[in-house]
């Protein structure tokens, strides 16, 4: 692999056989001109954002003719065979299942993070954006009949956790207890270790796209804190994913799942997450089994890297 520094003034470099522009990034003018001058132009892909919206299948793989004669192809990650799939290492799920099947591996990993799970507690992780309604969920965890142990990697949501706890010293290593809830702050960890954190937990609250996908590979119940967009455009993406994810759930479990995700993502219109959380707990065995079922469904499709290779071979 060769990594080049992309400076303001582009430095000449060897043209690639496949050029991938992620999230519609603009390639240097000199590079595009060099592509157009080749006897056989490189395959030019626009690797777009992840979405479960139905229109994605129809747009995936379509060419976009450019004024200079080049063609740029849309390549969408997604959740159906008609899309580019999801990022997944070949050995990821085998490693995950082996890890989850070995209690000593889980204990050793958590011990390395100075986590000693509370006896009988539900272990949860929280990685989210700022969340004005978070206190209602924390309150529900604290009032729960079962102990809850919440692991919070350092990040943007820490201020909301700190506000609920009423403390000013929340940092990596901090441990606080209120009622039946133990809150423990973790430092940022490597990607491989974050995967294992997700594998250890009974429930994962995640944000953005990358941790959202990694939580699905964990095979555990989750909630997605989607990034808020203007005019609530993100809400359509959230509902589109739920439409796909809920398939196979009983009507009651489906209603509980949607209720929790919607309450979590109300944004400025702060919702009381507590009732939605308690409703979801009534269907926990089914939601847990469904998370593993969904993971298996996604794993049966080509992963994103494999789909990119297949697209290139078909293009040749």
pLDDT tens-place string over residues 239-293:
999 999 999 999 999 999 999 999 999 865 667 999 999 999 999 999 999 999 9
Judge residue 222's burial from the number of C-beta atoms within 10 Å of its C-beta, 0-12 exposed, 13-18 middle, 19 or more buried. buried
Residue 314: Cβ within 10 Å count: 8
For tokens 């959380």, the residue is 277
Q: Determine the pLDDT at residue 192.
A: 95
Predicted local confidence at residue 269, as pLDDT? 63
Query: Which letter, b or e, does each residue of 151-172 get, where b requires 16 or more Cβ atoms within 10 Å of its Cβ?
Result: bbbbbebbebbbebbeeeebee
Q: Average pLDDT for residues 84-108, to the nearest whole number?
A: 97
Average pLDDT over residues 122-145: 96
- Residue 162: CA count within 13 A, CB half-sphere: 16
pLDDT at 267: 67
Strands 71-75 and 122-126, bridge-based pairing:
unpaired
pLDDT in tens, 10-51: 888 889 999 999 877 889 999 999 999 999 999 999 999 999
Name the average pLDDT for the chain.
94
pLDDT confidence of residue 266:
86
Of 30-34, 90-94, 152-156, 225-229, least confident by mean pLDDT is 225-229
Average pLDDT in the 87-101 region? 97
Q: Classify 73 as helix, strand or coil.
A: strand
Task: Report the pLDDT value the prediction gives residue 9, as an integer from 0 to 100.
Answer: 82
What integer pLDDT is reported at residue 23 of this predicted model?
79
- List the one residue out of 304, 280, 278 whose CA is nearest residue 290: 280
Q: Is the pLDDT of residue 62 over 70?
A: yes
Residue 55, pLDDT > 80, answer: yes
| Residue 144 near residue 153 (C-beta atoms within 8 A) | no
4 pLDDT more than 90: no
How many other C-beta atoms are found inside a 10 Å radius of the C-beta of residue 203?
24
Which range in 164-178, 190-204, 218-232 is most confidently predicted, on average pLDDT? 190-204
């Amino acid at each position: 692999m060769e990594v080049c520094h992309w400076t303001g003034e582009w430095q000449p470099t060897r043209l690639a056989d496949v050029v991938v522009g992620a999230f519609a990034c603009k390639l240097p003018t000199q590079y595009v001109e060099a592509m157009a001058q080749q006897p056989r132009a490189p395959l030019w892909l626009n690797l777009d954002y992840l979405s479960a919206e139905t229109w994605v299948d129809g747009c995936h793989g379509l060419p976009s003719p450019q004024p200079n004669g080049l063609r740029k192809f849309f390549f969408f990650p997604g959740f159906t065979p008609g899309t580019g799939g999801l990022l997944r290492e070949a050995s990821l799920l085998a490693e995950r299942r082996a890890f989850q099947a070995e209690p000593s591996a889980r204990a050793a990993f958590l011990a390395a993070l100075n986590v000693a799970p509370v006896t009988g507690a539900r272990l949860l992780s929280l990685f989210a954006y700022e969340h004005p309604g978070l206190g209602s969920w924390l309150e529900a965890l604290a009032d729960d009949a079962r102990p809850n142990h919440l692991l919070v990697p350092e990040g943007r949501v820490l201020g909301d956790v700190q506000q609920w706890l009423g403390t000013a010293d929340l940092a990596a290593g901090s441990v606080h207890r209120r009622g039946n809830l133990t809150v423990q702050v973790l430092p940022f960890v490597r990607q491989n270790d974050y995967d294992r954190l997700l594998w250890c937990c009974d429930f994962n609250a995640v944000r953005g796209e990358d941790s959202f996908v990694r939580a699905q590979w964990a095979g555990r119940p989750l909630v997605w804190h989607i990034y808020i967009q203007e005019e609530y455009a993100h809400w359509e993406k959230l509902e589109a994913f739920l439409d796909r994810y809920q398939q196979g759930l009983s009507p009651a479990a489906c209603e509980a799942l949607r209720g929790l995700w919607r309450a979590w993502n109300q944004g400025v219109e702060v919702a009381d997450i507590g009732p939605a959380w308690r409703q979801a707990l009534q269907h926990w065995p089914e939601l847990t089994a469904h998370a593993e079922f969904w993971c298996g469904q996604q794993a049966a499709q080509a992963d994103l890297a494999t789909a990119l290779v297949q697209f290139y071979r078909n293009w040749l």
